[in-house]
């Protein structure tokens, strides 16, 4: 299986090369040349497998340059860090199902991909005799999941910038209590935007980037999407095993379009489910796209589901590539228009295709809080605010005869303040979170000054 760029500017590369490249060298995103499909019989064969074995089978369809035993070992190690052998358990509530994706070390769904990516990086770097210095900015979730993905790994160091005092307490502790030598938490006395600007500037300095072999772990890495395809299959098998018949539809709280794109691929591979339900918060550019074909970029507004506070959804480019019949020239055209006019045009025919693939609803603050409260009242189950957006979107978009599976992307304790506002009391802390208070922490506080941060990275980079 070879990988190509959505912009058409690179010759096809292997899976390993695609993982190490992250963003394609021509500025596009990497995609497999073809999407493998599974027949009904092949699907039935996967049904009895446990999560790691299911992951081995599905990921193997996309990976042909890692020996099977090595891949199996990487995958098994990645999911041993989860607090349940089911990895992504399905929970049945009143009229819908919840797929709990938060059983990894940082209690958010990003662990499913980043636990795998950390082990994969370590393996590939060792094989190639290389090293990597990962740099990223975070408003909370991605940074902590990335740190836990690579902590203690060989040949890789990670530098994560977060805005000092502006992440939640749980997120901060999940980052700063990691004391491994290869982990560097930089608390920047500025905003998340300051952090992002500094990281961008470091990557833009090509000489610096090459010399220190800087790498990123954001959601444009193909391996992250690949790891996320697996749980759609797992959820579907779990639902069927419980006797859920009828059509299954997945509801996905969406920001960068990575999680839902993995679901789209699962569907294209032959998983029999309905159109995906795309939930957004007040930052509803993707809902406007699905509803009216209007993809115009506004300003990001802060919401109670901060991990979805995004305007330009970077993974949308992968979907657009298929939408324009895999024609890189048309992808380039669309993204040039976006850059110039802040708006990406879609034809009526394209809009029709989009609406065959997705349904969408935007869910505001009041409705998010009301959904948390209502579900808690009727079932005793606590939703985090991101998950609540997906549950509310499913209520709006699912048809009577369908069974929605709502993806639970974070544990409620991770966003305890919002949950408390909704139900009047704070959610109980899971033991792993409660244990963080009082642990020693390591974190360097630095001003939002590019030179100072550059110096710090230079002094501590490996290689
Ligand atoms: C990152 C994140 C999302 C959004 O996922 P995308 O892949 O960016 O669409 C939703 N919920 C939580 C809790 C997240 O951390």
pLDDT tens-digit readout, 367-377: 999 999 999 99
3 with 12: CB under 8 angstroms?
yes
Ligand 1: nearest atom to the Cα of 253: 10
Q: Does ligand 1 come within 6 angstroms of the Cβ of 318? A: no
Burial class from Cβ neighbours inside 10 Å (0-12, 13-18, 19+) for residue 206 reads: exposed
Tokens of 356: 């065959």
195 with 449: CB under 8 angstroms?
no
Dist CA 259 CA 405 (whole Å): 14
Dist CA 116 CA 109 (whole Å): 12
Q: Does ligand 1 come within 6 angstroms of the Cβ of 387? A: no
Dist CA 133 CA 21 (whole Å): 13
Q: Does ligand 1 come within 6 angstroms of the Cβ of 255? A: yes
Q: Does ligand 1 come within 6 angstroms of the Cβ of 264? A: no
29 with 318: CB under 8 angstroms?
yes
Per-residue pLDDT of the chain (463 residues; tens, 9 = 90+): 999 999 999 999 999 999 998 888 898 999 999 999 999 999 999 999 999 999 999 999 999 999 999 999 999 999 999 999 999 999 999 889 999 999 999 999 999 999 999 999 999 999 999 999 999 998 878 999 999 999 999 999 999 999 999 888 899 999 999 999 999 999 999 988 899 889 989 988 889 989 999 988 777 899 999 999 999 999 999 999 999 989 999 999 999 999 999 999 999 999 999 999 999 999 999 999 999 999 999 888 999 999 998 888 889 999 999 999 999 999 999 999 999 999 999 999 999 999 999 999 999 999 999 999 999 999 999 999 999 999 999 999 999 999 999 999 999 999 999 999 999 999 999 998 999 999 999 999 999 999 999 999 999 999 9
Q: Does ligand 1 come within 6 angstroms of the Cβ of 29? A: no
Q: Does ligand 1 come within 6 angstroms of the Cβ of 253? A: yes
DSSP E strands in 125-275: the ranges are: 132-137, 156-163, 183-188, 214-215, 248-253
Q: How far is the CA of 45 from the centre of ligand 1 (A)?
A: 31
pLDDT score at 229:
98
Ligand 1: nearest atom to the Cα of 110: 15
Q: How far is the CA of 138 from the centre of ligand 1 (A)?
A: 13
Q: How far is the CA of 254 from the centre of ligand 1 (A)?
A: 6
Pocket test for ligand 1, best of 103, 106, 108, 389 (most atoms within 8 A of CB): 108
Pocket test for ligand 1, best of 259, 263, 311, 390 (most atoms within 8 A of CB): 259
287 with 361: CB under 8 angstroms?
yes
Which residue's CA is the closest to the ligand 1 atom numbered 1? 307
Please identify which of the residues 2, 110, 126, 452 carries the catalytic annotation.
110
pLDDT tens per residue across span 26-83: 989 999 999 999 999 999 999 999 999 999 999 999 999 999 999 999 999 999 999 9
pLDDT score at 169:
87
Q: How far is CA 129 from the centre of its chain?
A: 28
Pocket test for ligand 1, best of 253, 264, 305, 393 (most atoms within 8 A of CB): 253
Q: Does ligand 1 come within 6 angstroms of the Cβ of 110? A: yes
pLDDT tens per residue across span 357-396: 999 999 999 999 999 999 999 999 999 999 999 999 999 9
Catalytic residue flag (residue 200): no
Q: Does ligand 1 come within 6 angstroms of the Cβ of 111? A: no
Q: Is the dihedral of CA 416, 382, 311, 185 positive or negative?
A: positive
Q: Does ligand 1 come within 6 angstroms of the Cβ of 228? A: no
Ligand 1: nearest atom to the Cα of 257: 9
Dist CA 32 CA 18 (whole Å): 9
Dist CA 406 CA 253 (whole Å): 8
pLDDT score at 234:
98
Indicate the angle between helix axes 68-80 and 110-128, nearest 10 degrees.
140
């Amino acid at each position: 299986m070879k990988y190509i760029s959505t912009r058409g500017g690179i010759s096809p590369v292997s899976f390993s090369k695609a993982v190490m490249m992250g963003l394609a060298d021509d500025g596009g995103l990497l995609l497999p040349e073809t999407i493998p499909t599974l027949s009904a019989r092949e699907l039935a064969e996967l049904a009895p497998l446990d999560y790691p074995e299911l992951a081995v089978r599905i990921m193997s369809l996309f990976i042909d340059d890692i020996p099977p035993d090595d891949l199996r070992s990487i995958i098994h190690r990645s999911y041993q860090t989860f607090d349940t052998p089911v990895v992504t358990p399905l929970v049945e509530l009143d009229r819908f199902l919840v797929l709990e994706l938060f059983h990894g070390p940082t209690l958010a769904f990003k662990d499913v991909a980043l636990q795998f990516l950390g082990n994969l990086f370590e393996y590939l770097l060792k094989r190639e005799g290389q090293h990597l210095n990962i740099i990223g900015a975070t408003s909370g979730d991605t940074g902590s999941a990335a740190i836990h993905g690579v902590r203690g790994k060989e040949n890789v160091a990670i530098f994560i910038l977060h805005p000092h005092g502006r992440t939640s307490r749980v997120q901060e502790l999940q980052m700063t209590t990691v004391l491994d030598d290869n982990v560097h938490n930089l608390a920047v006395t500025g905003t998340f935007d300051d952090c992002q600007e500094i990281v961008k500037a470091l990557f833009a300095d090509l000489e610096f980037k090459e010399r220190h072999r800087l790498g990123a772990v954001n959601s444009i890495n193909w391996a992250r999407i690949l790891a996320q395809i697996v749980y759609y299959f797992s959820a579907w098998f779990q639902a069927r095993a419980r006797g859920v018949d009828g059509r299954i539809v997945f509801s996905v709280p969406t920001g960068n379009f990575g999680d839902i794109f993995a679901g789209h691929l699962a569907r294209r591979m032959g998983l029999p489910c309905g159109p995906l339900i795309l939930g957004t918060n007040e930052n509803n550019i993707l809902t406007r796209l699905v509803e009216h074909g209007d993809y115009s970029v506004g300003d990001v507004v802060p919401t109670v589901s901060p991990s979805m506070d995004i305007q330009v959804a970077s993974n949308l480019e992968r979907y657009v590539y298929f939408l324009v019949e895999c024609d890189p020239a048309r992808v380039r055209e669309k993204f040039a228009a976006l850059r110039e006019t802040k708006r990406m045009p879609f034809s009526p025919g394209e809009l029709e295709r989009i609406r065959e693939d997705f349904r969408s609803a935007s869910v505001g603050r009041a409705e998010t809080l009301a959904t948390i409260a209502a579900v808690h009242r009727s079932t005793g189950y606590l939703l985090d605010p991101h998950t609540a957006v997906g549950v509310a979107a499913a209520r709006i978009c699912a048809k009577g005869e369908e069974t929605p599976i709502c993806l639970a992307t974070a544990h409620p304790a991770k966003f305890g303040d919002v949950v408390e506002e909704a139900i009047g009391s704070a959610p109980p802390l899971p033991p792993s979170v409660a244990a963080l208070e009082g642990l020693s922490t390591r974190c360097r506080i630095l001003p939002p000054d590019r030179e100072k941060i550059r110096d710090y990275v230079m002094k501590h980079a490996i290689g």
